[in-house]
Homo-oligomer: A and B are copies of this chain.
Amino acid sequence: MESIKIGLLGFGTVGSGVYSILEDNKDKIESHIQKKLEIKKILVRDIGKQRNVDVPKALFTTDAADVINDPEIGIIVELMGGIETAGGYIKAAIANKKHIVTANKALIATQGDEIYKLACENGVELRYEASVGGGIPIINTLTQSLSANNVDEVCGIINGTTNFILTQMDEQGMEFEEALKLAQDRGFAEADPTSDIEGEDVAFKLAILIEVAFGIKLSPYDIPREGITKISKRDIEFARELGYKIKLVAAARRKGNSLEYHVQPSFLPLANPLASVNNEFNAVLVRGNAVGELLLYGKGAGSTPTGSAVLGDILEISKIMGTDYKAGAPLRNENKGFQLEGEGVSAYYVHMSAKDKPGVLGRITSAFGRYEVSLRSVIQRSRAEDTVPLVFITHETERARLDSALKEIELSNDVSKIESVLRVEKK
């Protein structure tokens, strides 16, 4: 039986998942592709490091060239993360005619086009299912099963760390800092959680989804985004009272010839299927003009779920190796006619601390009115303090209009602080 040799760049959580799946499911894998798969070299920083999988020391190297330049290795699997070094290794590997599998969302979101072009020129495959949604096959679904659809919407919860934190805040009544600490203790958040909690990780993933679903190349840094650090226990309580869950939502929606997109913590009505996606689970909803609504739900992170997606890619490449077929990467830069609209219009939840004195509510609602922000509902709570929480749900409005109204309101003497402004999804 032919044997395909693989080189791994990086051996953290996902790398060890890939290794252990290959060991545990060897029979299934070989029977499926009718070839043997063998990990020949693994690039690591520290060969002596204690690891939770049992790997022959001889496989490890600290020199990337040992992996990238090995003539026997046919597929390079990049699981290091980061942009510059990983990108350099991948480009060098492509020049050596190696096929590439990567889980690197930052790299694909920022340099995916360039790398794909290089892959085409060198006649090799580039696959990155694991870069979005962990074990959820969203890239394959968009590029193969739904390839005859014009996509109208992609909307999802695609970051397990923030979803774990929001779930804990909701279910355990924790404040953000406490839930973040728990996430770190449980291994769901990194020591430096910035990229996750500020929404950067989600923006990388959304940029990839937008390119795959709509054929539009968009810098992840041009996606309007907001993290979850400002969300308080009280916001979550108000959401519950109003019949919503707060989730960090990534969405891109076609409206006629425009595309709206954002990464923002949002109020989701309980009937929305994404509202019940909890903890480290992820889900992506796709609306195609032929298939209608399709939802994929599963583990968005972790060693073997993400490893499963990496191996799915490896196996597909293994099957076509030795033939003259090129599967090609997902369509890229295809629909050139789109207007890019940013976050578009939405209803919003606004939570502010107001002074407890007569006429305040009237003056605030008048200020909204001056900017043509109309209100759907208002909650006012009395408290035994100088300030009272005021909560508004607006009708659909442009964010800029809302922000102008809030600026005026914040400058007045009536409000001590705008606590939070969150998107409200319709259904």
Interface on A for B, CB 8 Å cutoff?
A: 17, 21-22, 24-25, 28-29, 31-33, 129, 135-137, 140-141, 144-150, 215, 273, 288-299, 302, 304-305, 307-309, 311-312, 314-316, 319-320, 323-325, 327-328, 331, 334-335
Q: How far is the CA of A248 from the CA of B32 in the complex (A)?
A: 31
Is B148 a contact of A21 with CB atoms below 8 Å? yes
Is B294 a contact of A136 with CB atoms below 8 Å? yes
Q: What residue in chain B is nearest A136 (Cβ atoms)?
A: B294
Is A149 a contact of B297 with CB atoms below 8 Å? no
A135: B residues at CB distance < 8 A = 290-292, 294
A305: B residues at CB distance < 8 A = 290-292
In the complex, what's the smallest C-beta–C-beta distance from A277 to chain B, in angstroms? 10
A149: B residues at CB distance < 8 A = 21, 25, 28, 308
Is B294 a contact of A295 with CB atoms below 8 Å? no
A293: B residues at CB distance < 8 A = 298-299
Q: Which 10 A-B pairs have the closest CB atoms?
A: A137-B145, A325-B325, A148-B311, A290-B308, A294-B298, A323-B325, A135-B291, A291-B308, A295-B297, A290-B304
Instruction: State which of B144, B299, B312 has its C-beta within 8 Å of the C-beta of A316.
Output: B144
A22: B residues at CB distance < 8 A = 148
Is B323 a contact of A146 with CB atoms below 8 Å? no
Q: What residue in chain B is nearest A134 (Cβ atoms)?
A: B291
**20 further contact pairs, Cβ within 8 A, besides A137-B140, A137-B141, A144-B144:** A25-B148, A28-B150, A28-B335, A32-B148, A135-B292, A135-B294, A137-B294, A140-B140, A147-B311, A148-B314, A148-B315, A290-B308, A291-B305, A291-B308, A291-B309, A292-B298, A292-B299, A292-B302, A294-B299, A296-B296
Q: Say yes or no: A308-B331 contact (C-beta < 8 A), given A137-B146, A145-B137.
A: no
A24: B residues at CB distance < 8 A = 150, 289-290
Is A331 a contact of B31 with CB atoms below 8 Å? yes
Is A297 a contact of B315 with CB atoms below 8 Å? no
A25: B residues at CB distance < 8 A = 148-150, 289-290
Instruction: State which of B21, B147, B298, B316 has its C-beta within 8 Å of the C-beta of A295.
Output: B298
Is B323 a contact of A304 with CB atoms below 8 Å? no
A334: B residues at CB distance < 8 A = 28, 31-32
Q: How far is the CA of A299 from the CA of B146 in the complex (A)?
A: 13
Q: How far is the CA of A274 from the CA of B328 in the complex (A)?
A: 35
Instruction: State which of B147, B308, B325, B328 has its C-beta within 8 Å of the C-beta of A312.
Output: B147
Q: How far is the CA of A320 from the CA of B315 in the complex (A)?
A: 17
A290: B residues at CB distance < 8 A = 17, 21, 24-25, 135, 304-305, 307-308, 311
Q: What residue in chain B is nearest A316 (Cβ atoms)?
A: B144
In the complex, what's the smallest C-beta–C-beta distance from A269 to chain B, in angstroms? 14
Q: How far is the CA of A45 from the CA of B212 in the complex (A)?
A: 40
Q: What residue in chain B is nearest A311 (Cβ atoms)?
A: B148
Q: Say yes or no: A148-B28 contact (C-beta < 8 A), given A140-B140, A297-B273.
A: yes
In the complex, what's the smallest C-beta–C-beta distance from A51 to chain B, in angstroms? 18
Q: How far is the CA of A331 from the CA of B328 in the complex (A)?
A: 23
A304: B residues at CB distance < 8 A = 289-292
